[in-house]
Amino acid sequence: MPRPQIAGEPAARRSRVNGRRTRQRLLAAAIALWSEHGSLGVTVSSVAERAETARRTVYHHFPTQEALLSATIEFVDTELAHLTAGEIDPDDNPYRLVAGLAADNPDLIRSVLSRLLAGDPMTDPIYASGVQYWLGEPNRRLRPGIPPEHATAVSIGMWYAANLAIATKHSPTERRREAERFARTYERLLSEGILAEAPDPHD
């Protein structure tokens, strides 16, 4: 039996979708500001200006400055957890994604790494998703004797290494070029270090 239509339902659904899109746009603005100016650069006024919207729109989604920062951190954690869990477009190169994050969002990545070291990694969604990735990914087998926890630590540690390498360059063009070089280094280190060759599907 078809579900009965409720008066005003399409309009309500559009409102929810628009609200989610606006929230995502505000968070994207907050992340860009954090990358450029650090967490102190993420203010209601600066986010409203970057997102080209009114301050009241920001306050509608994030009632306080603390709520805005908290939501930004949570959003970044979720996106990075997807990356460490291997939940990316099949056409994307994960090594280039990591290096690109370091090139475009250095302060944000440093903040995430500092928080990981200061807290309990076992309760962190980024670390937990990485461990699950190495436990459950059949085509990315680890070399004998390397536990998933260590593979996760090595993978996340490469974010710091990428930041360090890319920080030696100053212009956006140089930083992007260095990110491309580091992506190749990252892939080689993991391929020759902790990863075993994937089994041949024809064997």
User: What CATH number does residue 8 fall under?
Assistant: 1.10.10
Is 83 or 199 the better-scoring residue by pLDDT? 83
Do 38 and 122 lie in one domain? The reply is no
Instruction: Tell whether the torsion through CA atoms of 112, 117, 118 and 123 is positive or negative.
Output: positive
What's residue 91's pLDDT? 72
- How large a percentage of the chain has pLDDT more than 70? 86
The 10 Å Cβ neighbour count of residue 127 is: 21
- Rounded Cα–Cα distance for residues 40 and 114 (Å): 16
What's residue 121's pLDDT? 86
With a cut of 80, say whether residue 8 has pLDDT above it: no
Using only C-alpha atoms, the chain has a radius of gyration, in whole angstroms, of: 20
Do 79 and 168 lie in one domain? The reply is yes
Do 108 and 33 lie in one domain? The reply is no
Contact 81, 126 (CB under 8 A): yes
Do 36 and 116 lie in one domain? The reply is no
Tokens of 124: 């962190």
Query: CB under 8 Å to 5, separation ≥6 — which residues?
Result: none
What's residue 62's pLDDT? 94
Q: Per-residue DSSP letters for 23-75?
A: HHHHHHHHHHHHHHH-GGG--HHHHHHHTTS-HHHHHHH-SSHHHHHHHHHHH
Do 130 and 202 lie in one domain? The reply is yes
Report the pLDDT averaged over residues 90-109.
Answer: 80
3-state secondary structure (DSSP) of residue 142: strand
With a cut of 80, say whether residue 99 has pLDDT above it: yes
Q: How confident is the model at residue 68 (pLDDT cuts 50, 70, 90)?
A: very high
Domain closes at, from 63, 80, 98: 63
Do 48 and 77 lie in one domain? The reply is no
- Residue ranges making up the domain that contains 4: 1-63
State the chain's mean pLDDT as an integer: 83
Which residues are registered as beta bridge partners of 131?
A: none
Which residue blocks in 88-198 are alpha helix, DSSP H? 94-104, 106-118, 125-136, 148-166, 172-193
DSSP label at residue 195: B
Is 19 or 24 the better-scoring residue by pLDDT? 24
Domain closes at, from 26, 46, 63: 63
Domain closes at, from 16, 40, 63: 63
What's residue 201's pLDDT? 47
User: Per-residue pLDDT tens for 117-170?
Assistant: 888 888 888 898 888 888 876 555 788 889 999 999 998 888 889 989 998 998
Do 137 and 199 lie in one domain? The reply is yes
Tokens of 28: 């994207």
Q: How many domains does the chain have?
A: 2
Contact 175, 109 (CB under 8 A): no
Is 126 or 4 the better-scoring residue by pLDDT? 126
What's residue 31's pLDDT? 86
What's residue 73's pLDDT? 85
